[in-house]
A and B are shown apart, each in its own frame.
Chain A
Amino acid sequence: MKGQGRGLQAYALLYLLFLYAPIILLPLFAFNSGTIIAFPLQGFTTDWFSQMWANATLRTALANSLLIAVSAAVLATCLGIFAARASTRFEFPGKGGMMGFILLPMVLPEIIVAMSLLVVLLGAGVQLSILTVILGHVLICMPYAIAILSTAFSSLDKSLEEAAYDLGETRWSAFRLVTLPLVMPGIISSLLISFTISLDEFIIAFFLAGNQPTLPTYIFSQLRFPKQIPMIMALGTVLVALSIVLLALGEYFRRRGNARMGGNPTRGFL
């Protein structure tokens, strides 16, 4: 048993190294003064970061991406609350089919979602813009929001709401005063996850943004120019740091939520 455990542990650690290899390299190249992304490293520099701050297109792309991600996260979470509430609290004919349909974007190749939406938007004469990207991002964020929110809603004790009704609260005030605070950690992690997905989403933004840059499409356009790559590495470093902070926050709220539900605070993701 001991030997088997050791072997597996060594394998798991190696696997983690494999998972983290790109992330470990990112800051190395971001602070490397050489312009070519290869070993051996040259010297230490923060030039790429200042070059990044001074880049006007990048700033536009960031502003666009933030606007898209915030809108998509809020809309997907709002729609997700409806779906999660419906699926965990009510029984009605066709529920499975309807839920399956809403969750479909999770298992559909993204290129097909993007292309079909693009064809329809172009056919309808809609001007491609940030709005059309938001439209697509809400669609692909919604299933993840629903998955997280369903967990939050299903671990909710139904009798708490019933107690509120018995104490004279209306359906809406019971939802606002009892249910909502209890599922709040779920809502926050749904917002964070949707935000992160949207911020990093490339395919839909690439095809539906028209000539508006978003962060991923800007990165993609710059990867063709070797001169720009050190700056992209600096940008990547910042993005990774940001993602880790956001994820740690999300994890914190999820654990606190589980603890508040009286569950095990270390319970897993699913």
Chain B
Amino acid sequence: MGSLARAYGRPLAALIAAITVVWVLVLVLVPLGAMIEQSLWWRESKGDTSLAIDRLYNDMSTLQLDRSSATDPARQAALDAQIAEKQAQATALEAQEKNPPKVYGFDNFTRISELHLYIFARTILYALMVTLLALVVCYPVAYSVALASGPRKAVILTVALIVPYAINELLRVYAWLMILDYRGVINGVLGWFGLVDLDNRGWIPFLENPSAVFVAMIYTYVLFMVFPMVNTLETLDRNQIEAARDLGASSFRIHRRVIIPHAKPGIAVGCIMTFMLSAGSYSVPQIMTRGQGGDWFSQLVYRQFYESNNWNMGSAYAVSLLVVCTAFILIMMRLFGVGLRDIAK
């Protein structure tokens, strides 16, 4: 703060500090805090509360009957007191039923069912596969944009990469749905060649396979993988490639020993982004499977919020996904020897 004030003057330094604080609050602390808080409590609604209320009202009716047949004033007074006491109990229970008490604890996290746990693990695995496939697809693209083509061709390639992103993500996913559908583009072409029999439902059911989701996801997140890689590859001194070739290295060895090690931070950023996006993607699996294929965990989170109307459980699911993904990324970064400092570059 002191050095900031010296560099920019007091008012500007204060402004920079304020913007930073607002940024951290609005983008990180408040939404994350709200989600974590939500996940840490639930409302205790005992199933027998309504039974107890019913029993109280029954008791009250009986007492009312006794009261109307009683003639002794002392007895009447005693019965009135009993009824009033029961009424108070019932009112308290009713209030509790209407607005159950908040209970704090980790139950939302521990109550996850075995099936949901399985889906959770499978989602992480699928996201990993999407990331790997995207890496395989994107590396050659990034390499040709950054190193293998002249500036003119690189511009054309970059534009070609960006153009599909002018269309809404949902529409792009729907486009893939149309391509891979039972009577979609691919099956249509195959049918036209007589390879599949569309009239007797002899089409290839692409959409029933998880790889349909993979294809659409890779297509959707390709840029997030390509651009970080292009950015680091562009900083590679081309003389190093020429030097390696001059020393007799094959293309494969040049990639393995010179280009990929240099691109590692970019590859790491691309993989992290693609992994996070695909692990948390809701629309792509929802649209591509049309609810018929295996669920992804993000769909479960959605359902907890909007179908079970259990926001606490939904928050717990979301927080779990976040924590596991973050831990996973940190482990991968450690394994590949990439530090946060490299990524920030």
Report whether chain A binds chain B: no
Task: Give B contacts to A, CB under 8 Å.
Answer: none
